[in-house]
């Protein structure tokens, strides 16, 4: 579908699946368990702070690195939750969501031909941004049923051209939360081969019964880790697109060097509100997490009852199920049929894999979001239970 006018750096990157599936949801009146955004907004006090900021002059360009109040609040957040010390002036930069943090990190650090080891299935912007930076992705696949990191496969992915590991933990779409042991294997490899680790931790507060370990806290890793996060998932403000990168001053400076030519800055009234969220609503993410855990279990029960073999996610907004036991080999075909069959929309996980051929990694997997309101999930599960889902 590549247009002859499209720049080479964007060719071969499929359009995001969410447009197709969300349009399908609207057209068929389906319950949309596809895209990962919550139905309920974050803390009212934080919204009130954004309104106050709008009314009191926070309407012009914010400083490129972010408003000082937010940079300081991010530094306190890293200290409070993980004991990580960062200098708010040199080691924190505010970005337009974690998406821009990923883009700026890759554009600011990766040279053409550099290899980036990255967990597959991918969060879709990674593929696009590694390619736009001229880098080469070297996938390490997390495989069903438990989606653990295969340390031998990780080692085998590193070559003399490898310069980066791009991690995502808690991991979208599988829900895997990397263990301290797995992270230590990544850290050992990074030290041995002098690699920089870029880690996307947007679901840092959304783990169920397991601990999230930032790789920056492992010995020797603070000086080679760029940590990315955002208020979107932790505070249910996905539309605000306020994110940040923290780490060694030279890595943060590289993010800023690229970021200044992308948006330069954004979200002037939202940045001080997110500072208030981090400082004054530090328990909101834990409450959200407890509620998400209940909704996860509700969805998992519903998927099992509908004959879908669902894996139990340790974190994130998402549960993954195989459609093989219902007789389907192809999750894409299943997801295209599901709105008609059941009035529910889900996302075929194969779009997050390089190899989408028959029998390959995520061919039979489907992702369902459980970050939806209780009533929406109840309705989705009820519809799945009534429908004939067999191939």
Work out the angle at residue 231's Cα, subtended by the Cα atoms of residues 352 and 228, and round it to the nearest 5 degrees.
60
313 binds ligand PLP (CB under 6 A): no
Q: Which is nearer to ligand PLP, 123 or 370 (CB)?
A: 123
CB of 8 to ligand PLP, least distance (A): 25
From 131, 238, 266, 322, residue interacting with ligand PLP (rule: CB under 6 A): 238
d(CA 116, CA 341) in angstroms, rounded, equals 40
CB of 241 to ligand PLP, least distance (A): 5
CB of 168 to ligand PLP, least distance (A): 5
99 binds ligand PLP (CB under 6 A): yes
Neighbours of 110 (CB within 10 A): 25
- Report residue 210: phi and psi, to 5°: -125, 160
CB of 232 to ligand PLP, least distance (A): 4
CB of 228 to ligand PLP, least distance (A): 8
Judged by CB under 6 A, the stretch of 96-104, 127-135, 248-256, 372-380 that binds ligand PLP is 96-104
42 binds ligand PLP (CB under 6 A): no
Q: Which is nearer to ligand PLP, 240 or 328 (CB)?
A: 240
Neighbours of 275 (CB within 10 A): 27
Q: Which is nearer to ligand PLP, 274 or 389 (CB)?
A: 274
| b/e 167-195 (16+ beta carbons within 10 angstroms → b) | bbbbbbbbbbbbbeebbbbbbebbeeeeb
Binding residues for ligand PLP, rule CB under 6 A, total: 14
The label of the residue with tokens 């429908």 reads: 387
String marking each residue 155-184 x if it binds ligand PLP according to CB under 6 A: -------------x---x------------
Q: CA nearest 348: which of 333, 358, 361, 360?
A: 333
Neighbours of 383 (CB within 10 A): 18
CB of 166 to ligand PLP, least distance (A): 11
Q: CA nearest 169: which of 202, 145, 140, 129?
A: 202
Tokens representing 124 are 């879709």
d(CA 227, CA 45) in angstroms, rounded, equals 27
CB of 170 to ligand PLP, least distance (A): 8
98 binds ligand PLP (CB under 6 A): yes
From 97, 108, 121, 343, residue interacting with ligand PLP (rule: CB under 6 A): 97
Judged by CB under 6 A, the stretch of 24-32, 227-235, 360-368, 371-379 that binds ligand PLP is 227-235
123 binds ligand PLP (CB under 6 A): yes
From 42, 232, 285, 361, residue interacting with ligand PLP (rule: CB under 6 A): 232
202 binds ligand PLP (CB under 6 A): yes
What residues from 181 to 200 belong to the interface with ligand PLP (CB under 6 A)? Answer: 200
Judged by CB under 6 A, the stretch of 25-33, 94-102, 210-218, 368-376 that binds ligand PLP is 94-102
Tokens representing 8 are 């080479």
230 binds ligand PLP (CB under 6 A): yes
What H or E segment, with its residue span, contains residue 129?
helix 124-132
Q: What ranges make up the beta strands (E) of the chain?
A: 31-32, 92-96, 115-120, 136-141, 162-168, 196-200, 225-230, 242-246, 309-310, 318-322, 344-345, 347-348, 365-369
Residue 165, beta-bridge partner list: 117, 197
**What is the binding site for ligand PLP (CB under 6 A)?**
97-99, 123, 168, 172, 200, 202, 230, 232-233, 238, 241, 243
């Amino acid at each position: 579908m590549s247009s002859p006018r499209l720049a080479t750096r964007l060719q071969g990157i499929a359009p995001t699946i969410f447009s197709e599936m969300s349009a399908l949801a609207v057209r068929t009146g389906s319950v949309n368990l596809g895209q990962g955004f919550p139905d309920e907004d974050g803390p009212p006090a934080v919204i009130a702070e954004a309104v106050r900021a709008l009314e009191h002059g926070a309407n012009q360009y914010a400083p490129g690195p972010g408003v000082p109040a937010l940079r300081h609040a991010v530094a306190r957040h890293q200290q409070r939750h993980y004991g990580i010390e960062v200098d708010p002036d040199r080691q924190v930069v505010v970005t337009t969501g974690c998406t821009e943090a990923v883009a700026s990190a890759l554009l600011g650090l990766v040279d053409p031909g550099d290899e980036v080891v990255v967990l597959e299935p991918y969060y879709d912007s990674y593929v696009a941004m590694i390619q736009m930076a001229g880098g080469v992705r070297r996938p390490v696949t997390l495989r069903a049923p438990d989606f653990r990191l295969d340390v031998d496969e990780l080692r085998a992915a590193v070559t003399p051209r490898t310069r980066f590991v791009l991690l995502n933990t808690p991991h979208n779409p599988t829900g895997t939360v990397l263990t301290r042991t797995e992270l230590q294997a990544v850290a050992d490899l990074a030290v041995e081969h002098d690699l920089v680790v870029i880690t996307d931790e947007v679901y840092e507060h959304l783990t169920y019964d397991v601990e999230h370990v930032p790789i920056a806290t492992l010995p020797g890793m603070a000086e080679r880790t760029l940590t990315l996060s955002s208020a979107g998932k932790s505070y249910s403000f996905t539309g605000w697109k306020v994110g940040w990168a923290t780490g060694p001053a030279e890595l943060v400076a590289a993010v800023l060097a690229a970021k200044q030519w992308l948006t330069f800055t954004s979200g002037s009234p939202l940045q001080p509100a997110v500072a208030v969220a981090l400082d004054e609503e530090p328990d909101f993410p834990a409450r959200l997490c407890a509620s998400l855990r209940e909704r996860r279990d509700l969805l998992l029960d519903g998927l099992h009852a509908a004959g879908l073999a669902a894996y139990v996610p340790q974190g994130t907004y998402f549960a993954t199920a195989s459609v093989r036991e219902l007789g389907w080999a192809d999750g894409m075909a299943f997801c295209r049929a599901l709105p008609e069959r059941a009035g529910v929309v889900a996302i075929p996980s194969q779009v997050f894999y390089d190899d989408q051929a028959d029998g390959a990694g995520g061919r039979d997997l489907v992702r369902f979001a459980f970050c939806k309101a209780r009533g929406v999930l109840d309705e989705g599960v009820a519809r799945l239970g009534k429908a004939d889902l067999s191939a």
